[in-house]
Chain A
């Protein structure tokens, strides 16, 4: 991918005007890492791999930054617990069917592929894996209620 001085200025302008603290772009034969302000904004020192690689394609508008806290991340929170967010909007079910035991209870050990609940969208049952290894510390969402996209379902003490 040929990058002109104009493209570089444009990228810098986009970063400058955005809330992004850092940006990493990797495409075939090209990689760019920029951090704003020179300080260690993230406190981690390593570039997190945010998927912004497509934004450097010529002719496509730049992607705006996600507002802080709105993206389901599952990252560590203050108390060291990890959240399992709803991967989609729908009705949250803790068990396969009424009367059946819940997929997980507090204290249950889970692996990333352990099914923790079902989210129903228009009669379609979607199994939700934990996505993380650890112990269920809290069931946040209410059974048979609507959960929004990204809403916390469980909190997990990571292994």
Chain B
């Protein structure tokens, strides 16, 4: 019983194009909802149809679940794919889609809601026997001080409604905690509409390891291996790879099993990512959060597993079984992705919007480039600065680094500033080459 014939793509940029291509491969029609400045974008041109849902600011277009559902209904779509960012993890959109008879390509609204509350997600993880860091919700100074003493300094102050690296502050001692607690609460209220914050133990030498999971609507849950995304700046990922380098086989087994156990416990459906922090010194890992969306870095998993994850999302959403077992998931070789951003590294990573007078990426069988850009394309200032993802797969990590370095040397961009040289210096750095850097490494290395 096939329900999906036409998919509404509620996103922009490279991921909108990625979804259009996946739909095309499955023989599905596509309608892309664009903002006013994205009307002439590549995704809009490649899709069967594009509709302008609102003006450039995302709050008036890409973040309006009412307009997205109205546009999907008005163009006779049967499903909505939200991509990542924007409304990807909005329970409201998932609800509204379902109420209006549309398939939401993602987990059920209730699961998104649970996952979006980081405190509830922590509790669920603990119940499922997944290790979590010592932490607790705090409201005011005296209570926070006591909680902090139980947890130990330094610690992180995190917004319950945050996630994806947003709403996190570091407190090294009681004085710092006191100074930032009320600010953290009001910022959380403003940013996420939820003032609740919690304290969590901070791991100094931490790696970011995440597990890709896939669950169909018939209770089958598998993992598709892990990714290491420890090269970060301000909690934003810069370089991602699969598999995670220098991971003990026992740790790999334990972390992937924990992810599957958690997904099963919360009734997860469709694709998702369970994020962990890995203590680089002890090798212990702890649950961070679950992301109810396709991740930016999904191509490294595709590269080593040979599976199309966006197509898999659509198939699961349409009620099809996974079609493979855990034993049939194999990891072959090593893949690395880097994010080419339009930003001015020399000036505090300021976004660098503009018109691309030149945009050229190398064409090679070992390289995959996911991009919505072309010479003459405009990078508007309203959205994130991701220009392109360069993904390589090779037999081993060293070879993958070499191929990616060569590829970056052949990337030519004029018209905007990019982080290309930063990517080259990271990939060429001895620390990175040796494997396993920690999440604070990049910021220390570039200072």
Contact = CB atoms under 8 A, between A and B. Distances in A.
Interface stretch (A38-46, A102-110, A144-152): A144-152
Q: Which of A61, A67, A145 has the most CB of B within 10 A?
A: A61
Contact of B353 (A61, A70, A146, A151): A61
Interface in B367-391: 378-382
Interface residues of A, number: 25
Contacts, number: 75
A52 to B, nearest CB: 12
A79 to B, nearest CB: 24
Nearest to B354: A17
Q: How large is the interface on B (under 10, 10 to 19, 20 to 34, 35 or more residues)?
A: 20 to 34
Contacts of B272: none
A36 interface: no
A91 B353 contact: no
Interface string B340-363: 000000000011111100000000
Nearest to A119: B70
Contacts of A19: 355
A63 B51 contact: no
Contact of A149 (B55, B69, B354): B55
A145 B73 CA distance: 11
A91 B52 contact: no
B28 interface: no
B381 A88 contact: no
A89 interface: yes
B71 interface: yes
A150 B52 contact: yes
A64 B71 contact: no
B37 A89 contact: no
Contacts of A18: 355
A148 B353 contact: no
Contacts of A148: 51-53
A70 B380 CA distance: 14
B36 interface: yes
Contact of B355 (A17, A120, A151): A17
A88 B35 CA distance: 11
Contacts of A120: 70
A5 interface: no
B406 interface: no
Nearest to A17: B354
Contacts of B66: 121-122, 124
Contacts of A62: 353, 381
Given A64-B380, A91-B70, 11 more contacts: A19-B355, A61-B350, A64-B37, A67-B37, A67-B39, A89-B67, A90-B74, A91-B74, A146-B75, A148-B52, A150-B36
A-B complex: 4 closest residue pairs judged by Cβ atoms = A146-B74, A61-B381, A122-B66, A148-B52
Interface of A: 17-19, 61-64, 66-67, 70-71, 88-91, 120-122, 124, 145-146, 148-151
